[in-house]
């Protein structure tokens, strides 16, 4: 029995097979539930923007919008660049940024990245294809690079007098393209896809995106966290590492000490929970015990 257990603990699945054990053990729905919920949420938000002019549910774009023509929402990174460029934002823009910051500061780290951002579908597709093709080669970029880009953007906006990020933002480009037509924006999206597939594993979301960095800072103390509540059942299959866009954040919770993923780099996508056949991980709130030991 002990020998059988040792063999079970030594299991390490191939990257391209990530999730297959979960489908077999838990069923197709439980092995994909958070992925499907995220896609539904992303597509629903795009759909609401499309019918916004007709139904008035969600008007505007990801930079500045209003819900039911009543609740303003403003991208906090765009607002900061606007101020840095020397432009005084309207009161509704300030209120909209405050609403967005409070919402994402409370709910979970980088929830925007995993549940709202349309470019997440592109980067997820690149990561999936990378696993299926067995591509291992990747340039080693620092994940801190995106955080250095934040002050660079603010400084660039101050020097140029313009909202610098709006010229090169693939997230906004894809969102506009899906609603109004791609035009030349598809080139920028293809470049992001190629970056993630061929050059740097999780290159955009994991290393470059300053918008993701901003939401990471905003949500660093947020409530909902992926937690290894059943850590003892982990069989080291590596499926969660293979699908996570920020795999380094899973090492500490699965080893010892605090079982919660406390890193602000987590995008709260829940994919690691989906693919875990042993039900090691789940979403929990950070209030109360630290789940140590």
Burial class, 247, CB count within 10 angstroms (exposed 0-12 / middle 13-18 / buried 19+): middle
Cα(210)–Cα(160) distance, integer angstroms: 18
26 pLDDT band (50/70/90 cuts)? very high
- Condensed to tens digits (0 to 9), the pLDDT of residues 247-271 reads 999 998 998 889 999 999 999 999 9
CB atoms within 10 A of CB 144: 11
- Taking 50 as the threshold, does the pLDDT of residue 151 lie above it? yes
Whether the pLDDT of residue 95 is over 70: the answer is: yes
The tokens for 144 are 């801190």
292 band by pLDDT with thresholds 50, 70 and 90: low
* pLDDT level of residue 45 (50, 70, 90 thresholds): very high
- Which residues contact residue 193 at a Cβ distance below 8 angstroms, ignoring those fewer than 6 apart? 122, 123, 125, 126
User: Could you tell me which residue, 153 or 166, shows the higher pLDDT?
Assistant: 153
The mean pLDDT value of the chain amounts to 91
Of all residues in the chain, the percent with pLDDT exceeding 90 is 81
Q: Among residues 203, 27, 217, which one has the least CA distance to residue 105?
A: 217
d(CA 285, CA 266) in angstroms, rounded, equals 14
> How would you classify the pairing of strands 71-74 and 224-227?
unpaired
Cα–Cα distance measured from residue 63 to residue 175, given in angstroms and rounded to the nearest whole number: 10
What's the pLDDT tens digit per position in 115-148? 999 999 999 999 999 999 999 889 999 989 999 9
Distance (Å) of CA 274 to CA 23, 141, 269: 9, 28, 10
pLDDT at 6 over 70: no
Looking at residues 233-253, what average pLDDT do you find? Answer: 94
- Contacts of 70 by beta carbon, 8 Å cutoff, 6+ apart: none
| Residues sharing a CB contact under 8 Å with residue 163, sequence separation 6 or more, in sequence order | 78, 81, 82, 85, 157
Q: How buried is residue 258: exposed, middle or buried, by Cβ count under 10 Å (0-12/13-18/19+)?
A: middle
pLDDT value at 289 more than 60: no
This prediction has a pTM of: 0.91
- The pLDDT value recorded for residue 36 is 98
Closest Cα to residue 114, out of 255, 4, 216?
216
50 vs 44: CA distance, rounded Å: 10
pLDDT at 11 exceeding the cut of 80: no
Structure tokens at 70: 């009543």
Residue 164 has a pLDDT of 86
């Amino acid at each position: 029995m002990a020998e059988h257990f040792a063999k079970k603990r030594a299991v390490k699945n191939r990257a391209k097979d990530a999730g297959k054990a979960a489908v077999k053990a838990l069923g197709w729905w439980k092995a994909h539930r958070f992925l499907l919920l995220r896609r539904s949420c992303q597509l629903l938000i795009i759909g609401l923007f499309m019918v916004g002019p007709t139904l008035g549910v969600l008007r505007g774009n990801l930079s500045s919008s209003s819900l039911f023509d009543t609740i303003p929402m403003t991208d906090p990174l765009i607002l900061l660049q606007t101020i840095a460029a020397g432009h005084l934002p309207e009161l509704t823009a300030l209120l909209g940024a405050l609403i967005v910051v409070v919402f994402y500061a409370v709910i979970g780290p980088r929830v925007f990245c995993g549940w709202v951002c349309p470019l997440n579908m592109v980067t997820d597709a690149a990561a999936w294809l990378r696993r299926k093709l067995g591509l291992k080669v990747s340039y080693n970029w620092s994940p801190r690079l995106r955080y250095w880009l934040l002050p660079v953007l603010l400084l660039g906006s101050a020097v140029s007098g313009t909202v610098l990020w709006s010229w090169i933002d693939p997230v906004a480009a894809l969102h506009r393209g899906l609603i109004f037509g791609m035009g030349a924006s598809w080139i920028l999206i293809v470049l992001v896809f190629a970056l993630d597939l061929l050059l740097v594993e999780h290159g955009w979301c994991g290393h470059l995106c300053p918008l993701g960095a901003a939401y990471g800072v905003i949500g660093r103390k947020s409530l909902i966290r992926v937690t290894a509540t059943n850590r003892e059942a982990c069989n080291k299959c590596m499926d969660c590492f293979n699908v996570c866009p920020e795999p380094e954040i899973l090492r500490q919770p699965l080893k010892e000490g605090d079982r919660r993923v406390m890193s602000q780099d987590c995008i709260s996508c829940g994919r690691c929970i989906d693919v875990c056949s042993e039900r090691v991980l789940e979403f929990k709130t950070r209030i109360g015990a630290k789940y140590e030991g």
